[in-house]
Amino acid sequence: MPLPQAWTAGLASIVADRERGASLLALDALELLERAAAEAPRSKEGLGSLTDLARSLRAARPSMPAIANLVNLAMHDAAGAGSAAEAVPRAERATAATRAQALEARGGAARAAAALARGTVLTHSASETVTKALRAARRAGTLSRVVVAEGRPGFEGRELARALAEEGVETLLVVDAALGLHAREADVALVGADAILPDGAVVNKVGTRLLAMACERAGTPLYAAADRFKISPVASIPLEEKAPGEVWPDAPPGVQVRNIYFDRTEAPLVKGFATDAGVLSPSAVGPLALEHARWADWEARMRRLLR
């Protein structure tokens, strides 16, 4: 049975979004799932459609496990229902509760990151969690200066630089390739994370790994700010690649252009993670990844309700 057009349109919007990070897209996914649960018939057919949407949302952005984790958490709760008719409204309630947890977790990660943002801070691209942390550090009087990399090809770092400057933060915008030149002058590097892998590696905007290598050489600690829902239960995730035209719209014949959005930064290059559970070492990530893996058991239980 095909999904309603409004559902597929919401799903397509999440797949196509190039402006916002994993946290905001995960909230979009939960909002769509909650709305769908409110609209779905209280029946096996309705639960089947809701289950199909949840599977599609989970697979929408493979490099952003927060979406899959939060969808899994909501559906894990809903799968505890005694019947399909009961599971649909339970999914609506569970999704609303999960969305509240996600919002609270984002705030907790930003608070933990703000405590690390002291002196001169080096950042790459534009993480919403990092942005909140920098604003809080400015209000606390612990932030002196921010060096922001522009974040090609979307140049989202420019918007972060503009916002910080408007709030009175001394801000320097540099091209991505110049990050290494500024690693030694920074007190700390603070980046976002689209995913944290079970071994403590970070998947984030391409260029993060080069920044981390420069920071290691300079003796500057690098932290990734992310709520715990971004911890992936799987050891490897695909690195999204987008349209080459975003990099060079009129590339001449014979020139191949690649537009890889993310890279993987190994755990030894990361000092720690500012999360809603506090500042975690890379070795503390594994147990949380196992917990997230358990949430994925909802599909088997849903199949029993749909029989």
Structural domain spans, the chain: 5-106+292-306, 109-290
Please give the mean pLDDT across all residues of the chain. Answer: 95
Per CATH, the architecture of 5-106+292-306 is what? Up-down Bundle (1.20)
Q: pLDDT by residue (tens digit) across 260-280?
A: 999 999 999 999 999 999 999
Confidence of residue 77 (pLDDT cuts 50, 70, 90): very high
Given a cut of 90, is residue 184 above it in pLDDT?
Answer: yes
The verdict on whether omega for the bond into residue 153 sits within 30 degrees of 0, i.e. cis, is: yes
Q: pLDDT by residue (tens digit) across 1-11?
A: 789 999 999 99
Q: pLDDT by residue (tens digit) across 217-254?
A: 999 999 999 999 999 999 999 998 989 999 999 999 99
**pLDDT of 280:** 96
Confidence of residue 119 (pLDDT cuts 50, 70, 90): very high
CA-CA distances (angstroms) from residue 42 to 39, 48, 209, 265? 9, 10, 48, 45
State the distance between the two ends of the chain, measured CA to CA, in whole angstroms.
16
The catalytic residue positions are 194
**Mean pLDDT within 275-295:** 95
Q: pLDDT by residue (tens digit) across 143-172?
A: 999 999 999 999 999 999 999 999 999 999
Q: Which fold has domain 109-290?
A: Rossmann fold (3.40.50)
Residue 2 CB-density burial (10 A; 0-12 exposed, 13-18 middle, 19+ buried): exposed
